[in-house]
């Protein structure tokens, strides 16, 4: 079999997908009673799925020997997975998925999305209540939410006039192309609805991964601060490295201002293209060149051997790059602000820098994604619009370590409180903790809220995938 493979090696965070199939003659119904496909179409797609998984899947030796090709493609793909189980199979697969719309998936990987543009965290309104509040963690520049004046920290209590609860919040917030949201304000510790409704309609826009860059002056000390929310090198359908080039320019400015400390905020970053991870790490690591190893990949035994014979052992290595913005010689450590939404390429950067410098993590335990996947499409069959996103590799830093499958535990554990100060405000518990360490001043240390809210869900964890590109044009036989 010859498969044309989109050679996008990616680190990803769990995504949520819904699948359907087209109706034609000679159909068999889906198990869930939804849309349907012809028998021949279903068999053709499932055979392609099986062959692809047998070749590329990291756990290909765990694929069942007998499979049911009559299942709908989504169910069939899921039946092949080496399922994660916290007790019985903690090394299993948590991240592989399938999409029925390859074009939509590929666009979303580069940050071009159909959305209102607000990222949310969901909290119970109060202890013992089933009412939910949706708090805005940030809005994307020039998105409908941004243009409507919605900002970080804003609280939504009703959507389309309906109070959010633990039973309806998904349908109200994530299943409609337009929303009418009601904001609330905290007055003397009590949430009070403003009764002002803001209408938001989804539109297609390009996410900018660089949310904020600034240099803080604390008692004459220059501290560089970057809020980076996704690893994307270029806008969708371009290869100009616009965002990566902008990162280099930002770090050139950090250097020129004499910054001697660096804080990188990855708390909402679910991952990204490895090319951007290489860029960020190469801007931070001291004394590195393009001869120094950033990370190494490992595949299933058969694919590892085949790739090694075809391309040599260097194929599995990703080295640092020599960039003009590298600030490594001005700093002797880096602080990363992290959370339960920090994953994939975010963790890859952390793991890749550990052998080279002092890395301090502040916040909450990260996701723990030390494996990567590829986007596979069937370019030989134009009727097959499915795209596979199976785990195919595991990553190791230059010391051979890949031991963060349970997530990185922060050096300083601190959670966000009920209020969300603007990015760059020293009253932010995560940023304040970093400033307290840097300055040695207790005035920046956050007041610990032992009743910090429990986050039910964070929209950063709903992002589908983030990519890392290794190669561009090879065919795997």
- Tens of pLDDT, residue by residue over 370-394, are 998 888 999 899 899 999 999 999 9
pLDDT (tens digit per residue) in 459-468: 665 443 333 3
Instruction: Name the range with the highest mean pLDDT among 29-43, 121-135, 297-311.
Output: 297-311
Higher pLDDT, 16 or 257: 257
Confidence of residue 148 (pLDDT cuts 50, 70, 90): very high
The rounded distance, in Å, linking the Cα atoms of 350 and 345 is 9
Confidence of residue 316 (pLDDT cuts 50, 70, 90): very high
Q: What is the mean pLDDT of residues 247-272?
A: 97
Looking at the predicted structure, is the pLDDT value of residue 6 above 80?
no
Q: What is the mean pLDDT of residues 3-17?
A: 36
- To the nearest whole percent, how much of the chain has pLDDT over 90? 71
Burial 202-229, CB ≥16 within 10 A → b, else e: beebbbbbbbebeebeeeeeebbbbbbb
The rounded distance, in Å, linking the Cα atoms of 290 and 295 is 12
The rounded distance, in Å, linking the Cα atoms of 21 and 41 is 10
pLDDT of residue 461: 54
- Strand-pairing partners, residue 125, are none
What is the DSSP secondary structure assignment for residue 438, as one 8-state letter?
A: H
Can you give the pTM of this predicted structure? 0.87
Q: What is the mean pLDDT of residues 154-158?
A: 95
Q: Which domains does the chain have, with CATH numbers?
A: 115-205 (2.30.42.10), 208-371+395-448 (3.90.226.10)
3 state DSSP class of 388: strand
Looking at the predicted structure, is the pLDDT value of residue 22 above 50?
no
Lowest mean pLDDT among 32-41, 43-52, 131-140, 337-346: 32-41
**CA-closest candidate to residue 386, choices 6, 2, 1:** 6
**CA-closest candidate to residue 112, choices 244, 232, 282, 218:** 232
Q: Which residues contact 48 (CB under 8 A, 6 or more apart)?
A: 378, 381, 384
Specify the DSSP element, H or E, that contains 350.
helix 345-353
Q: What is the mean pLDDT of residues 149-165?
A: 95
Confidence of residue 37 (pLDDT cuts 50, 70, 90): low
pLDDT of residue 16: 27
Confidence of residue 449 (pLDDT cuts 50, 70, 90): low
Mean pLDDT of the chain: 86
pLDDT of residue 452: 60
> Strand 261-265 vs strand 333-338: parallel, antiparallel, or unpaired?
parallel
What is the DSSP secondary structure assignment for residue 462, as one 8-state letter?
A: G
Q: ∠ CA 363-369-370 to the nearest 5 degrees? A: 120
Confidence of residue 173 (pLDDT cuts 50, 70, 90): very high
pLDDT of residue 97: 94
pLDDT (tens digit per residue) in 295-314: 999 999 999 999 999 999 99
Angle at which helices 345-353 and 274-284 cross, to 10°: 30
pLDDT of residue 126: 83
Q: What is the mean pLDDT of residues 150-161?
A: 95
The rounded distance, in Å, linking the Cα atoms of 428 and 444 is 9
Higher pLDDT, 70 or 108: 70
């Amino acid at each position: 079999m010859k498969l044309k493979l989109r050679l996008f090696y990616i680190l990803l965070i769990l995504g949520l997908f819904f699948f359907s199939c087209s109706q034609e003659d000679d159909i068999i119904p889906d198990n869930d009673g939804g849309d349907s496909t012809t028998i021949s179409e279903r068999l053709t797609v499932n055979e392609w799925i099986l062959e692809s998984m047998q070749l590329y899947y990291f756990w290909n030796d765990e694929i069942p020997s007998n499979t049911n090709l009559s299942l709908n493609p989504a169910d069939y793909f899921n039946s092949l997975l080496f399922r994660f189980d916290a007790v019985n199979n903690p090394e299993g697969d948590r991240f592989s998925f399938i999409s029925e719309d390859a074009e939509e998936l590929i666009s979303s990987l580069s940050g071009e999305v159909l959305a209102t543009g607000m990222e949310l965290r969901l909290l119970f309104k109060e202890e013992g209540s089933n009412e939910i509040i949706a708090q805005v963690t940030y809005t994307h520049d020039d998105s409908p939410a941004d243009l409507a004046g919605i900002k970080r920290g804003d609280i939504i209590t009703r959507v389309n006039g309906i109070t959010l609860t633990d039973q309806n919040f998904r349908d109200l917030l994530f299943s409609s192309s337009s929303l009418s949201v009601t904001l609330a304000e905290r007055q003397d510790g009590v949430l009070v609805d403003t009764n002002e409704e803001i209408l938001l309609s989804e539109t297609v826009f390009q996410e900018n991964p660089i949310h904020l860059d600034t240099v803080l002056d604390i008692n004459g000390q220059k501290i560089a601060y970057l809020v980076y929310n996704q690893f994307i090198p270029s806008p969708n359908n371009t290869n100009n490295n616009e965002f990566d080039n902008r990162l280099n320019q930002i770090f050139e400015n950090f250097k020129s201002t004499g910054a001697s400390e660096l804080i990188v905020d990855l708390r909402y970053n679910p991952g990204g293209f490895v090319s951007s991870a290489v860029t960020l790490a190469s801007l931070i690591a001291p004394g590195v060149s393009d001869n120094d190893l950033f990370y190494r990949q490992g595949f299933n035994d058969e694919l590892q051997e085949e790739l090694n014979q075809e391309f040599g052992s260097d194929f599995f290595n990703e080295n640092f790059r020599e960039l003009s913005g590298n600030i490594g010689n001005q700093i002797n450590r880096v602080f990363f602000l992290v959370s339960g939404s920090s994953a994939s390429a975010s963790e890859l950067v952390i793991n890749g820098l550990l052998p080279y410098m002092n890395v301090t993590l502040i916040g909450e335990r990260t996701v723990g994604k030390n494996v990567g996947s590829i986007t596979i499409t069937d370019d030989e069959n134009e009727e097959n619009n499915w795209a596979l996103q199976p785990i195919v590799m595991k990553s190791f830093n230059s010391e051979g370590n890949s031991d963060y499958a349970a997530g990185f535990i922060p050096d300083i554990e601190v959670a966000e409180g009920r209020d969300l100060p603007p990015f760059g405000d020293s009253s932010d518990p995560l940023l304040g903790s970093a400033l307290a360490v840097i300055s040695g001043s207790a005035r920046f240390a956050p007041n610990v809220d032992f009743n910090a809210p429990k986050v039910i869900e964070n929209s950063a964890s709903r992002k589908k995938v983030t990519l890392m590109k290794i190669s561009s044009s090879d065919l795997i036989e």
